[in-house]
Structure 1
Amino acid sequence: MAVQYSRRPPSSSFDSDSHDMNRAPGNYREREPPSDDDDAASDMSEDLVEIPSEDIPDYFQERGGRLFHSHGASPYPLPVDAEEQQRQNGLNTLLRRLIGDFSVGPVGEVLADALGEQRRVLDLGTGTGQWVLDMARDFPRARFYGVDIVPIATRYPPHNVQFEMHDIKEAFRFDSASIDFVHARMISMAIRDYGALLPEIARVLRRGGLFVSSEWGRRPIMVDGSDLAVRAPHTSEFFTAVRETLRERRGIHTVAPGIPRLLDDSGCFVNIVPRRYYMPIGDWHTDPELRELGREYREMVELYARSMRAVLIEGRWAADADALIEGYIQETWRVRGMVSVYYTVHARRV
């Protein structure tokens, strides 16, 4: 069941865009009538219901002073509170600077206007929805759908954007061959079997439609090829603990480097183009732009490490969680040459 967010402002003074789930939400009003594009009626699916604002707190639970989703079937382990949303929005900006655009692949070609056709984009695990909102400004004639297991995206999206609640492990509500571009960024901790997701992505994509996957590697590397365990032992230990706890307690495996192979094995995609980007951690780089990028990214790394405490305290490293986190953060300041690897791949639907 997908759950639609309201597009019209509520009568209450509550501002959901603040993402403060500790405040009491105001009431949503009825959604606006659909716009007059040729496919707008499809947004009024029978499978969509609007979330009453008083029910929004039911989608969250508090643990250890942090706010998490309450969707029992989802393995996603990180908080969804204001601090984590700050990290997501910060990463959105930094990744655009790193890759030079909002996405890799022939996005402009796929979303180019075509007579009698409405271009559609589906963003999986949309989070705060910032990527969708940025893209919707660049492509105002396309329609964008952002789906996530919690309602943390804005309640007041522009006319060509709709946010919905949906668990991406389940079948999408969209008709077969109805989507031009499926975007999946940093969803690997929300699913246990990435390969099982690909047939459903292929189903909703039109022939020649674009799929883009972007995932962080599960641990940093040293840019000069030296051994991370030697150069940054606390960092290496932190990520070993994270990786093993995710596997043991959540059934989440490292998948980023293997996604191109999964796409090929599915038989649903062609023109598979993988690429790696290297994000500096800290201000050690000789290039001024990358030095600034690394300095800002280090702030996101610290937020990530502190959010990961929720993972570490579930497993056999629970007693050492705080020491692991602080050791990693300290090495991001002291150790020069660490980079995070950002794996992207784009492919076309057969």
Structure 2
Amino acid sequence: MTGSSTQEQTTNTTNSAVANVAVDTSYENDSAYGDELSSYSASLTSSVLDFRQENGRRYHNFRDGSYLLPNDESESDRLDMFHELCLQLLHQKLYLAPIKNPQRVIDLATGTGIWAIDFADQHPQAEVIGCDLSPTQPSLVPPNVKFLVDDIESEWAYESNPFDFIHARYLAISIKDFGKLIKECYRSVKPGGWVEFQDWDGYPVSPDDSLKGTSLQRYYDEIYSAFEGAGYEVRPGPKLEQWFKEAGFVNVHVEQFVIPYGVWPKDHHLKNVGAWNQAQSETNGFEAAAMAPLTRFKNWTKEEVVVLASKARADGRNRKIHMMFNFYVVYGQRPEN
């Protein structure tokens, strides 16, 4: 929170800036102002919806280039499958934090909005906000849900109306400064409120080295070196605990899970989770994650990316390759005082 001297200085600066804002007097009377406002709002909406089309995929336009995965229907289908994967992993739980009677909740980088919608159904007393760079969420939603187009890496403005619960999931390869983001969460959650992040260690492992030398391994090495070269965090999961504590959270709790790829595990639960992981990846997931970083930062052609994704997909169907990921759920509480 800002101190009184900073607030005063900010106010003075703002007043000075306001005095220098020129007024558009091109309209002749107040009766036209409503039409002009509607026209301007429509223009803004149109710019947000004017998505970038590139290499056969569609990408967000607001803060163009800050998020490297597509936002088209195929990607929406994949994200909804990932939502089901998480439900299977967490035994149908949307979150693990011990929240009680939340009144105001925000879902960061909400994607298709499916988590926010499910949470709103479970907590009809709560006001639930989902924010994302892309306005691709459905219009028919519970009455206690609303969606905003916003950039969570920009400065927030929620301190005066903080949240009981802040949720974020699958921000790996999307965020450059997790530490800053989590500090914003701390400032924007109520004393006693909870923040929960669910995220990957993006690099895969195999218990028997069966991943070594495969096209799957090359795929992740190639795309993650591109993301890392552009400044994105690809393995936030194991670092979340440290970031939470540095931000000031207490009662920080960490749970680590294994997410296999495919149905090779003997354990029924892991086999089911692995099947969902393979399903969401094969819904154009390999190409979705690879196309922009490899063509924009490594000068690959679209055709080269398609070949790499196809080889990785084929390896993923090989029951002799036992690939899996570590996945973390970390939550913490802002102190009451």
The one-letter code sitting in structure 2 at the alignment partner of 1:301 is: S
Aligned position for 1:194: 178
- Tell me which protein shows more helix as a share of its residues: 2
Equivalent residues of 1:174, 1:204 under 8 A apart: yes
Match of 2:87 in 1: 96
Normalising to structure 2: TM-score of the pair?
0.79
* Aligned mate of 2:258, from 274, 278, 293: 278
Superposed displacement of residue 99, structure 1:
1.1
Q: Is 1:148 equivalent to 2:132 in the alignment? A: yes
Q: Which residue of 2 aligns with 1:17?
A: none
Structure 1 match to 2:143: 159
- 2:241 alignment partner AA: P
Aligned to 2:26: none
- Runs of 5+ consecutive residues of structure 1 not aligned to the other structure: 1-48, 114-118
Alignment-mate amino acid for residue 83 of structure 1: S
Residue 69 (structure 2) aligns with: 78
The aligned length equals 290
User: C-alpha distance in 2, partners of 1:73/1:322?
Assistant: 23
Separation in 2, partners of 1:97, 1:77: 27
Q: Is 1:343 paired with 2:328?
A: yes
Question: Are 1:314 and 2:296 matched, yes or no?
Answer: yes
C-alpha distance in 1, partners of 2:121/2:47? 28
Q: Contact 1:176 / 1:205 at 8 angstroms: preserved in 2?
A: no
Partner of residue 119, structure 2? 135
Q: Offset at 1:259?
A: 1.4
**1:104/1:346 contact within 8 Å kept:** no
Distance in 1 (CA, whole Å) between partners of 2:246 and 2:45 is 45
Point out the more displaced range, 129-138 or 305-314: 305-314
TM-score (norm 1): 0.76
Does the aligned pair in 2 maintain the 1:206–1:349 contact within 8 Å? yes
> 2: distance between equivalents of 1:153 and 1:243?
28
Q: In structure 2, what is the equivalent of residue 121 of structure 1?
A: 105
Identity of aligned residues (%): 24
1:133–1:157 contact (8 Å) kept in structure 2: yes
Q: Partner of 1:213: helix, strand, or coil?
A: strand
Q: 1:51 deviation in Å?
A: 6.3
Deviation at 1:150, TM superposition (A): 1.0
Match of 1:112 among 87, 101, 111: 101
1:180 Cα deviation after fit: 0.4
Change (3 A) 1:240 1:259: same
What residue in structure 2 maps to residue 245 of structure 1? 226
The amino acid across from 2:184 in the alignment is: E
Unaligned 5+ residue runs, structure 2? 1-39
Residue 61, structure 1, aligned to residue 52, structure 2: yes
Question: 2: distance between equivalents of 1:62 and 1:124?
Answer: 25
Tell me the SS of whatever aligns to 2:297. coil
Shift of 1:67: 0.5
Q: Is the 8 A contact 2:49 2:135 kept in 1?
A: no
Identify if the C-alpha distance between structure 1 residues 50 and 205 changes in structure 2 by more than 3 Å, giving closer, same or farther. Answer: farther
Q: Following TM superposition, by how much is the alpha carbon of 1:130 offset from its aligned partner in structure 2, in angstroms?
A: 0.2
Report the counterpart of residue 16 of structure 1 in structure 2: none
Q: Is the 8 A contact 1:281 1:295 kept in 2?
A: yes
- Match of 1:253, SS state, is coil
